[in-house]
Every structure is written in structure tokens, then in C-alpha cells.
Amino acid sequence: MQVPQRRLVHLAPLALALGVTAWLKSWEEIPRWVKYYPRDWKVPADKQLDALFNFFAEEVDLGLFTFKELTRGFAWVIERLLLFVQGVFAKGFEFYGDAMTPWLVIPPLSWVAVTGLFAILAYWASGRALAILVAVFFAYFAVFDLWENAMLTLASVFVAVLLGIAIGVALGALGYRSRVFNAILTPIYDIMQTTPIWSYLVPVLVFFGFGPLAGLLATVVFAMPPMARVTTLALQRVPANTSDFGDMAGCTRRQKMWLVMLPSARRSLLIGINQVIMLSLAAVIVASIIGAGGLGADVYRALTALRIGDAVEAGLAITLLAIALDRISQGIAMRRPVHEVESARNLIRRHPLVTLALALVVASAVLGPFVPAVKSFPDSLTISTGDVWNDVVKWLNVNHHETIGGFRDFFIIHLLKPVKLFFIRLPWPAVILVAVTLGYALGGWRLALLAGLLLTGIALSGYWKQAMISLYLATLGVLASMLIGAPIGVAAALNRRVDRVVTVIIDTLQTLPTFVYLLPVVMLFATGEFPAFVAIVMYAVLPAIRYTKHGIANIPRPIIEATDLSGATRMQKLFQVQIPLALPDILLGVNQVLMMAFGMLVITALVGTRGLEQEALTSLAKVRPGTGVVTGLGIACLVIVSDRMITAASVLSRRHLGLATAAPAMA
Amino acid sequence: MSDTASKGASPPGREDEVMVRCERVWKVFGAGAERVIAEHGASVSDETLARHELIAAVRDVNLSVNRGEIFVIMGLSGSGKSTLVRCMTGLIGLTLGRLLIDGTDLMNISTRDLVEVRRYKMGMVFQDFALLPHLTVLGNVVFPLKIQGVERGAREARAREMIELVGLSGRERYYPHELSGGQQQRVGIARSLTTEPEIWFLDEPFSALDPLIRHEMQDELQRLQGILRKTIVFITHDFDEAIKLADRIAIMNEGRVVQIGTPEGLVVNPANDYVAEFTQKIPRARVLTVRAVMGPPGRAGGEPIPENALVHEAAERVLAAEQPLPVSNARGELVGSLDRDAVIRVLLEKDRG
């Protein structure tokens, strides 16, 4: 790479930005087409796609069956699976035959059995502490009368994770075998992960109909890519000698993949599965808003009806479920097999936990009909703290209305409004031009071309203004997150006690599904862009802290020791050595912050933002798949362009410091 | 490169049966390597390679490994030894040349035949053990037989035999992470032997171990070879290890084989300064045979010393004796005598060039 040649170009974006500002001064003189992307120039891709989707859904006939019948048939298969799992956990099975009353009813697993099973699983994965924790969490679902919805959510997550793992491992293995395939798949994963969930919910609805299934499929699309990426990466990281051993032992290709490569990559794969579980949970919660039952629907319904208390209880249930699933799957990933002490012939002795689990299921099934409390948690014992929470909110509104409102208004007037106006008023050709030059300066002509094409695409789609609104909120979110997160990260890196507290908080917060973050902000600030902004910052500040801490903690010891020996004061050390050397890591962190900010931005459409994410959400209500896809891709374009720019900046700064280029961070 | 093994020394390998033969083997990495090498042949210059951005890991290697011998390929990192052994096992293809395994041309057989050769003819031990982390000791050792489809009872019996052979009985149910490095490599050795391979490749098998354990494992290998009499291709970067184990050693540098010879031959007669660098630090008494330093048969008395004994083995007796000791060959004929002076000169490292 010819870094020196490009150094001059670094100045170009600055010059352009100055030019643009000068231009803005004489706002009136700018031709109208520069200020606003003309409506006539819009390429009606959204309308055409709407038509195309409808054509496929309603009219395409494949001879024996229509396209719609094909997709619905596919859906039917997966639906059986979902119904089965739902039956096991929540709904039970009823067999009708010809009569009006079922001749056979199989109840679902009782709450005692499910709680016990998960506690046993937790014990196996990690130990007694986690088992107790998980048992308490599941008891919470029962006590607060959220059992059935929690189980519905769990069933959806279960099926989504199964599908996600199966598809992800298959695609990941293909990506490992063929470099071409990997090169094709990677950008597709990027798009899948950055496109708002609303956007693929719409086409899924059109093809697969309403119901839990639509949400499930959208969840798989959203949660599968990390599994595929992790699989490819994990296979590539299997030690060369282990792979060679597979060949030397005389494995066939299939034997080598299934018996040598995948088992050797097991630990990384399990960490990938943990990601799939957490992403699936987040997506299932969001998807349950559009028709599928479950905890997400509880929260949403309660929120819209302003029953804050119920929303908090259900939100807490989501939180507990997330923590339980995360800790269990992490425990399994970290688990190492231990040899059996003796070869017990007795099956029961050899597998005590399995035996216990089976005994529990059988016992609860037998006792169920006689002891109602085993079958379902007695209603008389369920409690609700809803009123307490309602009172808290009431109290806040009555006593602190002015403080909170004043706080909110201050930020809206002095920060959000002006920045938003600035972004909207930026002439679109100038934005594209700046992006192209910046892209060239940071990453060469490829990046310049990418930035130019994607941003022009947004302009052509006719959603430029909405895109700028999304961009303004995300940018502000990133900046605020870095401003808040970086100092905390520095403090955590320098002080062990701070670190311990911060780590616990971050570990818990980052397991929470995005949707949960909306709860407190809506309670405090109602709806609009300010609560959205706060939610974004709360969510995106986590990687800002983590990466800053990581960057500073990872500076090689000899450098720190040399600095100390040269007599630097603590401040000199921090500002002249530690922060500059941590910069590449911090920049990678900015990248993660950006991803998280956009991830949350998409969800904040629910509390009334105005950008592309909102267009995508409303397209869902209006069943306009074309609009959903176009606006969703718009967000994906914004994310991809900013992501590539920041990655390029990180690589540049690494090279500048003479450090080896790190592998690009995985989303 | 000429074989400088001293005349008359008969390596335990049988020269009439060549198990591995490399003929003008080239391995060049980079785009278009085949074309460039085919065009220029063995006389290709460093400049030509550099111009085409090619890296020659193995250059024009000719050697043959005889049945039953321990053939050590010794070289520093980047000398091409690992690439060469990967060519021998068919893990990577050659750029040019021929590679015969027990008469079979590795480059001209189908993938299926290659799988067969590996299943039944070759065994390999790896530097980092390359054990499968999810399987027990037994599971690892049984693995090569399992993928061949050997019936369960038979394969487990065979695996247990191998585990006992390497001294790990009682640890069958352990997982690799529960074992020490030396124990893990014992598992690797047992695993590579379950299929009763004829040719045994050991790729720096002891380099990842502590020095003490390394010596123990070298002794263990010698013990096993005493029982099994395999054809062994042993890769190492450690010249002491090579001297200790080898019947013959090939020294590699920058992709070429610099010299092939017995340990004694290399020490007595290093082909160039590069080889001499290594041999200088080797105590000569440990590599020189009595034959190499003995005088003509003459006035000598006492129990004869066998001519192929190492000097350090005979030293104590010679130094304690009143007069020179007679030296006999395998048939018991007196072929020379050994006096104190000769032994002391070797022990004091005189006569070194």
C-alpha cells in the first residue's frame, strides 16, 4: 500500500468539509437539487419490489403448485417442529380424531420438571451455584405468572437456535472448503446482520403468513450469520498438524470434517452457539411483537397500555432468561471433559444426571394429575409487583417531572435538534463526495468506490432524508458512547477495583436483548428521539468501555516498564504512551460501538424515531415488502460504509505504529 | 551429495529394500511454480526464483531410506525438512521429481489409493501431538482403526496393546488435557502404531518437550525400535538428537540436502563448513567407532573389543589395561588393536580440523 502518496489526500476531506460549511452560509443560493434530492430522480425500487413480491406471492405458478404453496409448504415443515417444541414446553398435545373432544391429551412438561431440567443442565455445565441461580430464575417465571409466555419464548429460541446451528455450520464448512464461496458469503452475512429485522420480517410475512413462524424465520436469518462465520474461522484455526493427522490416518473427506475438524474446533463452535442463542433470544423477543406470543409481546402490550408494572416484570423475565441461557451455554463452552474414575457397568451410576432428569420428568408427569401444584404453579400463590412499579413511575412523574423533563428538553434543544438539522441540511452530493475522498484516503480506491456506490444507492432510492436522520442519531450515539465509555475504560484498565465492578456490570448488561433497554427509557422519558438516543448510548457504551480497557491493558509490559523507568509521571504515561498505543484497539472498539448503535437504533423505531428504521417498521404494518427491503438495505449501506471506514482507519493507525495488522474484528 | 558413510559400516537397514526414495524432488511455493521449474530444471538460479516471486522449500533432493533403518533429516527451521516430510507423506504435492513409497509413485496414484497407503503403510507422529481433544486416550489410539472400519472388539484390543507398549496402561480413559506433554506424545506414538505401519514418520516428535523428558522419550523410541524394527523417518532440528538416534542422517540447509551419512561419517568427514558447525560440538568418543581409530593388529592382549563399539564404550577398559587391546570384527577375526594414546586423543578432542 502506498501510504505516503495518500497522505496528501488526508487533507482533502477537511478541505471539502470547509467548503461545504462555506456553502451552507449561503444556503439560499444553492440550487434546490443540491439541497434536496429531487423527487423525480427517485428510482422506484421499493414500489417495483412490492409488485415483484406480490407477483411471486400471488401469481407465480410452478406447474404442480404455486410459489406461495411452495413457501407455505416449507413453512409447514418447520412449523411442525415449532409446534412440537411448543407442545413440549408450553402447550401440550391434543389428539382429536373425529370427535369434538380430544381422545388423548398429553400435558406439557410441568413447571417443576422444566425448572428441574434446566437446573440439572446448569449443574452439568457449570456447577451448583449456577444450578441454584437458574432454578430461582425459572421459579420467578412461575411466581410472576409469566410461565407460559416464558416457555413460548424458550420454544422459539430453541427451534431458531437449532436451525441457526444447522444452517450456520453447513455454510461455515462450505466457506472453509472453498475460498470463492467464502468470498461470496461474507458480504451476504454482512448484509444479513446489518439489515434491520423489520425488513426481512415483511417478505417473510408475505411468503409465510402471519404467526410465530414468520418471527422464527426472521430470527434465523438474523442469528445464523455469526455461527457460519465462527465455523469457518474455527475450522481455519484448527492446528495444521491436527488437520494433517486426519489425512495421515487415512480419513475420507467426510470423515475428516466430522471426526477430526469439527470436534477439534468444538470450543470455538460452542462460543459461536452462545452467540446464536443470545442473538436468537433478542430477535425472538422483537419478533414476538408482531404476532407471535411470548415475553416480548407481554412487554410490548403492557408498554403500549402504559401498564408499566407488568412491562417491568416481563422485561425482568426476559433479562433472567437471557442471563440463564448465556451462563449455561458459556459454561458448556468452557467445560472440559474429565475422565471417568471407574468403568461402572451400571448405566444409572454412569449417568447420574441423565437418570435424575428422567426421574424428574416421569415423577412430575405421574404426580401431575393428582397434585395440581406440580402441574402448574397455583394461581393463588402468584404475585405481582406491578402496582409498586406503577407507583414508582407515578411518583417520578409527580415529584420529578420537572427535573426529568428539563433534562430531556435541555438535550433535545441543545444537542439533538441542532445536530439533526445539520445532518438534514447537508447537501447530498457533498456528503457523497466527502465519503468518497475519505474512503480513498483511508482505504484506497476500492473503499472510495464502495462508499460512493452505496451512498448513491441510498440517494437513488429516494430515502436520503430518512437515511440522514438515522445517521444523525447513530453518530450522536457513537460519539456520546465514546465520550462516556472511553474514560470508564481507562479507569478500569488502571484500577483493579474499578475493573471488577465494571466487568460485572458489563457482562450482565451485554447479555440483555436490545428490547429490554427500551423499558427504562420509556418509563423515564416517554417516546421520541431522546429516549431512543439514551437507549442507544446505554447499549453502545459497553464495547466502548471494553475495547478501551482492552487496548490499554494489552500494551506490552516492557513498554510500560521502560516508560516508568524513564521517569514519566502517571499523566505523561497515560497521554503520551498508553492512549496513543491503545488507539488501534480503541478504533476497533469504535467499530463495535457503531454496530451496536445501529443495532439499537433499529429497535428504537418502536419508540418513535424518524429515520430509515421507522420506514422499515411501518412497511411491516402496511405489508409493503419492497419498502421494507429498500429501507433496510439503506441502513445496511450506512453501516457497511462506516464500518469499512473505521476498520481502514484502525489498520492505518496500526501500520503507523508499526504493529502487526490484527485480524478484522468479527461483528 | 555423496554418501560418506565410512566403508564397511553396515547400517541396520537393508539396502536392497528401499522404502522411501526421493528422486530430484522439488517443492516450490508460489504462483506458476510448475512452469518455471519445468522450464529451468534443476539448474534454476536463486535470481530466477526471486524474479518470479517463488520460494523453493525443497531443492533437488535425492535420497533413499532403507527398510528398518532410522533415517534422520536434520535441519534448522526453514531448511525445508518439514516440507520434505510432507512431500513424502503426500500431504503436499511435489513441484518436480518422483517420490516412491515402497515402489509406489505417490504422485501417480488416485486419492483413494493414497488413502489406502496412508491407512496401511504409514504412521506419523507430530510435534504438537495433534491429539483429538474430545477423545480419551483409548479413543485417540483407536481412531485410525475406527475410520478403517475395523470391528470394535478387535480395534480396542489392538489399541490397548499399543497403550501398554508405550507404558500408559491405566490411563485409557483420560483426556489429552489431563496428561503431561510426554504422556501426550506417548499417546501420539501409540496412535501412529496401531495400524502397524511399515514406514513411521516422526516430525520433530520431542521438540515440544522439556530436555529431561526429551531424553527419556529418545530412550523410549530406541527401546520401541528394538522391538518393532520399523523404517523410520525422523525429523529434528537438534543435532544431538540426530546423532543419538540415527543410523543415517541427512543434513538440510536452504532446501538442499548438504550431506548424508552415518553420525560417525559426518563427524569424521563433514562435507563443508555448515556441517562442521554442528559436528564440532559433538564429543567424538560418542560417535567414533573403535574401527575408525584403531591401529594395526600387533602386540596386544586381553579380551578383544568389537570393532563397531563406540570409543566411549571401550575407553574405560583400554585406559585400565596394561597394554593395547585387540579389536575383532563380527566374525571374531582380529582386525586391529587399540591403545591408550588413540583413546585419549579422541577423548581430548585432538585431531579436530
Type of residue at A604: T
CA distance A593 to A595: 5
Residue B139 sits at the chain A interface (C-beta within 8 Å)? no
Q: Which residues of B touch A248 (CB under 8 A)?
A: 89, 91, 118, 122-124, 201
Q: Give mean pLDDT, residues B197-225.
A: 92
Mean pLDDT confidence for B233-255: 92
Residue B3: strand pairing partners:
B260
| Segment 192-221 of chain B within 8 Å of chain A by CB | 201, 203
User: What per-residue confidence (pLDDT) applies to A626?
Assistant: 85
Q: Is residue B328 part of a domain?
A: yes
Please tell me if residue B113 touches chain A, with a CB cutoff of 8 Å: no
Residue B292 lies in a domain: yes
B291 pLDDT band, cuts 50/70/90, is confident
**Residue B252, in any domain of the structure:** yes
CB contact under 8 A, A242 and B130: yes
Helix H, strand E, coil C: the string for B46-66 is HHHHHHCCCEEEEEEEEEEEE
Whether B115 and B236 map to the same domain: the answer is yes
Q: Is the pLDDT of residue B10 over 50?
A: no
- B7 assigned to some structural domain: no
Helix segments in B121-210, DSSP class H: 137-148, 152-165, 181-193
Domain match, B106 and B208 both: yes
Whether B97 and B18 map to the same domain: the answer is yes
User: Are B68 and B201 members of one domain?
Assistant: yes
Give the DSSP letter string of A612-633.
HHHHHHHHHHTT-HHHHHHHHH
**How does pLDDT run across A191-217, given as a tens digit for each residue?**
888 888 888 788 887 777 767 778 888
Residue B6 has pLDDT above 60, yes or no: no
Indicate the average pLDDT of chain B.
Answer: 87
Q: How far is CA A36 from CA A302, A381, B286, in A?
A: 40, 61, 89
- With vertex at residue A79, the alpha carbon angle to CA A77 and CA A84, rounded to the nearest 5 degrees, is 105
Q: Where are the alpha helices (DSSP H) in A30-99?
A: 32-35, 45-58, 67-86
In the predicted structure, residue A8 carries a pLDDT above the cut 60: no
Judge if B278 and B290 occupy the same domain: no
Indicate whether B242 and B303 sit together in one domain. Answer: no
CB nearest B175 (choices: A241, A245, A339): A339
pLDDT at A424: 85
**Angstrom distance (rounded) from CA A664 to CA A648:** 10
- What does the DSSP assignment read for A588-601? HHHHHHHHHHHHHH
Number of Cβ within a 10 Å radius of residue A193: 20
Q: Which residues of A touch B115 (CB under 8 A)?
A: 250-252
Contact A218, A201 (CB under 8 A): yes
pLDDT beyond 50 at B3: no
Q: Helix or strand or coil: residue B328? A: strand
Distance CA A503, CA A185 (A): 34
Same domain, B27 and B104: yes
Name the minimum distance, in Å, from the CA of A246 to any CA of chain B: 9
Domains detected in chain A: 144-336 (1.10.3720.10)
Buried-exposed string B27-42: b where 16+ CB fall within 10 A, e elsewhere: bbeeeebeebbeeeee
Residue B232 within any structural domain of the chain: yes
What is the distance between the alpha carbons of residues A91 and A294, in angstroms, rounded to a whole number?
A: 12
Sign, Cα dihedral of B237, B243, B248, B251? positive
Decide if B150 is inside a domain: no
Instruction: Give percent above pLDDT 70 in chain A.
Output: 91
Q: Mark whether B296 and B272 lie in a shared domain.
A: no
Q: At what angle do helices A197-208 and A212-237 cross, to 10 degrees?
A: 120
B25: which strand partners? B61
Most confident of A23-37, A344-358, A374-388, B303-317: B303-317
CB pairs under 8 A between A and B: 71
* Range name among A90-99, A361-370, A401-410 with the lowest pLDDT average: A90-99
Contact of B118 with chain A, judged by CB distance below 8 Å, is answered with yes
Q: Which of A199-203, B69-73, B164-168 comes out lowest in average pLDDT?
A: A199-203
pLDDT single digits (tens) A304-339? 777 778 888 888 899 899 999 999 998 988 888 887
Whichever domain contains B296, its CATH number is: 3.10.580.10
Q: Which of B246, B263, B282 is the last residue of a domain?
A: B282
User: C-alpha angle A120/A126/A127, rounded to 5°?
Assistant: 65
- For A350-370, write each residue's pLDDT tens digit: 778 888 888 888 888 888 777
Residue A41 burial (10 A CB sphere; 0-12, 13-18, 19+): exposed
Query: B289 pLDDT band (50/70/90 cuts)?
Result: confident
Q: Which of A42-51, A188-197, B57-66, B143-152 has the lowest mean pLDDT?
A: A42-51
Do B124 and A251 count as a contact with CB atoms less than 8 A apart? no
- pLDDT of A119 > 90? The answer is yes
- If one counts every other C-beta atom within 10 angstroms of the C-beta of residue A376, the result is 16
Percent of chain B with pLDDT strictly greater than 70: 94
List chain B residues with CB under 8 Å of A239: 128, 130
Query: Residue B116: which domain range?
Result: 14-121+197-282
Residues A520-533 pLDDT 10s: 888 888 888 999 99
Task: Grade residue B282 by pLDDT with cuts at 50, 70 and 90.
Answer: confident
Nearest by CB to residue B148, choosing from A239, A241, A250, is A250
The burial class, CB within 10 Å (0-12 / 13-18 / 19+), for A387 is: exposed
CB-based contact, B186 to chain A, within 8 Å: no
- CATH no. for residue B246? 3.40.50.300
Band of residue B78 on the pLDDT scale cut at 50, 70, 90: confident
Diameter over CA atoms, chain B: 70
For residue A608, the SS3 value is coil
User: Cα-atom radius of gyration of chain B, to the nearest Å?
Assistant: 23
Tell me, yes or no, whether B230 and B340 share the same domain.
no
The residue whose grid cell reads 509413485 is: B105
Largest CA distance in chain A: 90
User: Which chain A residues contact residue B124 at CB under 8 A?
Assistant: 244-245, 248
* Mean pLDDT comparison of A55-59, A659-663, B190-194, highest-scoring range: B190-194
For residue B153, the model assigns a pLDDT of 92
pLDDT band at A145 (very low <50, low <70, confident <90, very high): confident
Residue A661, pLDDT score: 47
Tell me what pLDDT residue A18 has: 64
User: pLDDT exceeding 90 applies to what percent of chain A?
Assistant: 28
Q: For residue B1, what pLDDT band results from cuts at 50, 70 and 90?
A: very low
Whether B126 is covered by a domain: the verdict is: no
Question: B200: which 3 cell numbers?
Answer: 513411521
B201 shares its domain with B343: no
Number of structural domains chain B divides into: 2
Q: Which pLDDT does position B14 carry in this prediction? A: 54
Interatomic CA distance for residues A135 and B101, integer angstroms = 62
Asked if A150 and A295 touch (Cβ cutoff 8 Å), the reply is yes
Domain membership of residue B39 (yes or no) is yes
**What pLDDT, on the 0 to 100 scale, is given for residue A62?**
67
